[in-house]
Amino acid sequence: MSAAQFLRLAYLTPSESRSEGWHGVLGAAAFAAGTGGAGVPQGGGADFPLAHVHTPVLGDAHEILEVWRAGSRVQQGSHGRVRYARGGDFLFGSLAVHEAETIRPAGSAPRTPLELATDIAYREMYAALAAAGNPQLVRVWNYIPDINIDTHGLERYRQFNTARQEASLACGRAVAGAVPAASALGAAGGSPLTIYFLASRHAPAFIENPRQTSAYRYPAQYGPRSPAFSRATVLGEGSEATLFVSGTASIVGHSTLHSGDPAAQVRETLVNIEALLGEAASRSGLGRLRLETLAYKVYVRDPQDLPVIRRELESALGAAAAPLYLKADICRQDLAVEIEAVGGGGWRHNGAG
């Protein structure tokens, strides 16, 4: 990727994002409590894909925008429910599906509303990628209302994994190996299943963690279908590569460690991210990144744990790291924190709001 092909990521308040202007914006995700609209005006150059994610921001700001820009002219498009924008080699897309909208086709096998919504979302995402000429998924963010609740005899996260894998297989997509980096977090009850994603004309390298069982190889105790994501992806090569770290937690092998101890979970999670940095360096020629050079988004199950989680991260990363903290349920109920990250030479970052 040339310098013109850099991605730029910023975590901003709505007022900060308006002051920067909307030139070159591929898309954004707005994080806020409740199920209302985000404070982002449309029109006036702000007509880009925007995912409304109903997870509260922890800190002084009531709303934060995760804004992705490309160093080139951006073209807008849509396909079904998916809105997307293309800039250079990159594509950002988003869509939302309300479970109340879903209808099981006559004669089909019984499926839960969340499974139907997930099937719709993933089929439409894949169709949009094909139509846009960007078939290579690099990173996917999934926000699932009431992710840990059992309905129809199965936890909703496991329902989501089942439908994601089945939709991927039906669309001829891999469910192991060459699968994108991803996160799946909780969102407010009553909100839609919300997904946003980054894709490229070029295939990324798919990175696994030697300390962890690959998620797509999890044993059956974690649900009827395994999660279909890589631990990280690297887009580009050498000094211009960008690393996308999936949602990462205190898991070694396939088992949760340090249940009930948020501080120890943060430390174990950072060891896992360091292991991914090593694997990415050996696989892509990216060079060994340092933890403190990455941009972080941190999901906290219980806001009462935020002080100890923040303290551990500041100790490891330095106060300048400025992660974005969000309140969200995590895929396992014994996990207190999950962390994702972006880094490398092929991107630019403005700190968290």
Question: Rounded to whole angstroms, how far apart are CA atoms 302 and 337?
Answer: 9
Asked if 114 and 160 touch (Cβ cutoff 8 Å), the reply is yes
250 versus 134: the higher-pLDDT residue is: 250
Q: What is the pLDDT of residue 59?
A: 87
Residue 329 token pair:
């349920």
Residue 30 token pair:
């707005």
Q: What is the rounded average pLDDT of the residues 105-113?
A: 77
Residue 116 token pair:
């139907």
**Percent of the chain that is helix, strand, coil (3-state, to 5):** 30, 35, 40
Mean pLDDT of the chain: 91
296 pLDDT higher than 60: yes
pLDDT tens per residue across span 249-285: 999 999 999 999 999 999 999 999 999 999 999 887 7
Q: What is the pLDDT of residue 3?
A: 36
Q: Report yes or no on whether pTM surpasses 0.85.
A: yes
pLDDT tens per residue across span 163-195: 999 999 999 999 999 999 999 999 999 999 999
Q: Where are the domains of the chain?
A: 3-350
Q: Catalytic site residue 155?
A: no
pLDDT tens per residue across span 23-37: 889 999 999 986 444
Question: Rounded to whole angstroms, how far apart are CA atoms 167 and 159?
Answer: 12
Contacts of 208 (CB under 8 A, 6+ apart): 214, 230, 231, 279
pLDDT tens per residue across span 47-90: 899 999 999 999 888 899 999 998 778 999 999 999 999 998 99
Q: Please provide the DSSP assignment of 157-219 as one string.
A: HHHHHHHHHHHHHHTT--SSSS--EEEEEEE-TTSPEEEEEEEESSPPEEE--TTB--GGG--
Residue 233 is inside which H or E element, if any? strand 232-235
Q: Please provide the DSSP assignment of 45-89 as one string.
A: T--S-EEEE--PBPSS-SEEEEEEEESS-EEEEEETTEEEEEETT
Residues in the chain: 353
CA 4 to chain centre: 24
Q: What is the pLDDT of residue 276?
A: 97
Residue 322 token pair:
């400025």
Q: Considering the candidates 124, 208, 268, 338, report the single residue annotated as catalytic.
A: 338
What is the topology classification, in CATH, of domain 3-350?
60s Ribosomal Protein L30; Chain: A; (3.30.1330)
